[in-house]
Structure 1
Amino acid sequence: MRCIDGENELILTCETQAEGVCILRCETRDPVVLLPDEIDGAPVTALGRYVLSGRAPDLSGRDTFSVRVTCGGPLPVHEADSIRAVTLPKHARTVGSYAFYNCRSLEELTMTDSVSAFDGGSLMNCLSLHRIRLLAPPGGATCLPKILGETASELDVRFLHGDTCTPLLFPAYTEELEDLSPAHIFQRRIHGAGYSYRQCFDGAALNFRQYDRALSELAERHDFAIAARVAVRRLAAPFALSDSARADYLAVLREHGGPLACALAKQGDSVSLHVLLSLSVLSDAGIDAACTAAREAGQTAALSVLLAAAGPSKPRGRAKTFDL
């Protein structure tokens, strides 16, 4: 077995294909997995079926070779439940079906816009997945619609291009089949605005105008907490944001930004708090409530951001009592 230096302990079973190398199986117990971009000078262009799942693929009859990626640790025994974050090879084009099947602790996937095929079942039972990092410009074609089609859970999506981060939120939704007895005809029912957000694409490229229009459905459903979280992300990095959409998002935050500020304060999310405060949409009472939330949660950095927003000319009655 050949060995290459890396940042993980991985046992790779690979196959040489016309376009490059396909990783058919990756065995690891590392929580953060960085798959290699190249093997023996050839780009890694594909990930096979069940590549990281708890179930091993059937590789009988395949012309394979093995590679150990090591950073000096012990030989790994595969534990799919240990995996929390995976970065795909930068040249990867395809991700095979059931690639992350039963990776129940998987929280984050990072990939480039080279990935065009994300096959069915790839994210089955990835119940912890909540963040997608796309190393791509926000207006370009990516595999995002296919990823969104694989999960109905809420996803925090971040387009990372150069020094720019464009964060977006895709809300969750649920669906059920209702048996229309006695004919046993099933009617599909969808609950939640997340389904509409998943339709905002022109082919493989996100249509930001359609994405912004989906805010109205959140308002109709009275999903104001989700609407505020969508709004603060769009206003933080307003790529292709129209003046009317900006006004709609600001209106949401003026009306419902207070509870969001409290939630961010409890989480210690100082970056998002700073964005929210910079928009001047919070009332004094809202800032006071967020200060209280930060103090009770012991989030000193968040509390500092909130107190700085008050300014020396606006002393807050509770500010002198924030002993942490």
Structure 2
Amino acid sequence: MLEIQYREIKTGGIEILRCFCRENTVRLPNEICGKPVVKIGDYAFSAHKRKEDEARTEKIGEDFFENESLEMFCGERVKEVYLPSGTVEIGKYAFYGCVNLTTLGFSDALLRTGTGIFTGCKLQKIFLQIHHEGKSALKDIVQDTRFPLEVEVYYADQKEKSRLFFPEYYEEAVENTPARIIETHFHGTGYQYRQCFFRGEIDYRKYDQLFEVAAVQENKDVVWEILAGRMLMPYGVSDYSWLQYEGYLKQHQTEMMENLKENDQMPFLEMLSRKNFFTREGMEAAIEWASKKKKTEILSLLMDEQNKRFPKKKKTFEL
């Protein structure tokens, strides 16, 4: 059940001004009154929203009661927002102060974003659908947050996916006294990863080239986030980059299970099994971890794999 305040704009589309609902997740409709939703208004999900004049209202859902009022979907209530596929623009400060915002979904129709749309937010995950050439506002959105961010991209025409992880980084102002200037120093590879775009599209080659740097500078959990994303959804991975990821995996398998996030553990192990990437040491370490953590499903898979790949030699006796 969703109530939307909106207005028509000069181009003939719809601009969403405010939402009211009971949930903390909203999927906005592609159309309102037969017209496409093309813009999310300024401060649309912020608790600091000014009063709107001449706004129209649309109610979506069949379980409305007469004169029922819903709570405004803004500020701390906002957790997940999925924009209409035809949304072209997000207005300024649209998510200002949405401290619990975790997830944003949009398509490559989105090309423009306003100032400070994520001020006061720690966005964690983006779902992007590519229907056209691949250009979108993803670069601007990724660069608008310095916190850890996972981006899952679905290429509709090719029915393929990629998953990219952008690590956290922070800036430090350092005074260069002889030159009488203040220099900005960036700490963490997150800033470098956020530069991996070319003409509005993801530059997968540049992204994968940074792994060598991340493997040295970042914590192991970050390194495995990057590696798992690229190996589980390898869209755009070159043969050279794949060998680079594979080499790290074979060399550091004993650390694998401790650093893989829980949702990745089973898919990753199945991939290792399918491609015969397990080493004996990596297998033993994974089995020990699964036994200690009481992960019965994972332990069963690993034990079966161990019996196939590394069977114990039968003892023989000579008389």
Question: TM-score per shorter chain, which class?
Answer: 0.7 to 0.9
What secondary structure sits across from 1:254 in the alignment?
helix
1:206 aligns with 2:199: no
Give percent identity, aligned residues only: 27
- The answer for the alignment partner of 2:298 in structure 1 is 302
Q: Report the residue type matching 1:156 in the other structure.
A: E
List per-residue Cα deviations over 1:75-102 (Å, max 9, x = no partner): 3212532322111011100011111122
Q: What's the offset of the Cα at 1:283?
A: 2.6
For 1:96-135, list aligned pairs within 5 A.
96-127=91-122, 129-135=123-129
What secondary structure sits across from 2:260 in the alignment?
helix
Which among 217, 222, 226 is matched to residue 222 of structure 2? 226
Q: Report the residue type matching 2:257 in the other structure.
A: A
Q: Which has the higher mean CA deviation after the structures are superposed, 180-189 or 191-200?
A: 180-189
Find the aligned partners of 2:270 and 2:69 in 1 and give their Cα distance.
44
What secondary structure sits across from 1:13 in the alignment?
strand
Compared CA separation, residues 27 and 295, structure 1 to 2 (3 A): farther
For 1:237-256, list aligned pairs within 5 A.
237-256=233-252
TM-score of the aligned structures, taking structure 2 as reference length: 0.84
1:72 aligns with 2:60: no
What secondary structure sits across from 1:249 in the alignment?
helix
TM-score of the aligned structures, taking structure 1 as reference length: 0.83
List per-residue Cα deviations over 1:162-192 (Å, max 9, x = no partner): 4422112122211122345799843211001
Q: Number of residue pairs matched?
A: 305
Q: Report the residue type matching 1:64 in the other structure.
A: A
- The answer for the alignment partner of 1:157 in structure 2 is 151
Whose radius of gyration is greater, 1 or 2?
A: 2
Question: Does the 8 Å contact 1:156/1:168 carry over to 2?
Answer: yes
Q: Report the residue type matching 2:250 in the other structure.
A: R
- The answer for the alignment partner of 1:63 in structure 2 is 54
Structure 1, unpaired ranges of 5+: 1-8, 317-324
Question: Does the 8 Å contact 1:172/1:193 carry over to 2?
Answer: yes
Find the aligned partners of 1:309 and 1:40 in 2 and give their Cα distance.
57
For 1:272-311, list aligned pairs within 5 A.
272-311=268-307
- The answer for the alignment partner of 1:51 in structure 2 is 44
Q: What's the offset of the Cα at 1:208?
A: 1.2
- The answer for the alignment partner of 1:193 in structure 2 is 189
Compared CA separation, residues 309 and 172, structure 1 to 2 (3 A): farther
Compared CA separation, residues 89 and 101, structure 1 to 2 (3 A): same
- The answer for the alignment partner of 1:271 in structure 2 is 267
Structure 2, unpaired ranges of 5+: 313-319
Question: Does the 8 Å contact 2:139/2:194 carry over to 1?
Answer: yes
Compared CA separation, residues 245 and 104, structure 1 to 2 (3 A): same
Question: Does the 8 Å contact 1:287/1:306 carry over to 2?
Answer: yes
- The answer for the alignment partner of 1:38 in structure 2 is 31
List per-residue Cα deviations over 1:9-48 (Å, max 9, x = no partner): 3332111012410001223341221111111111101000
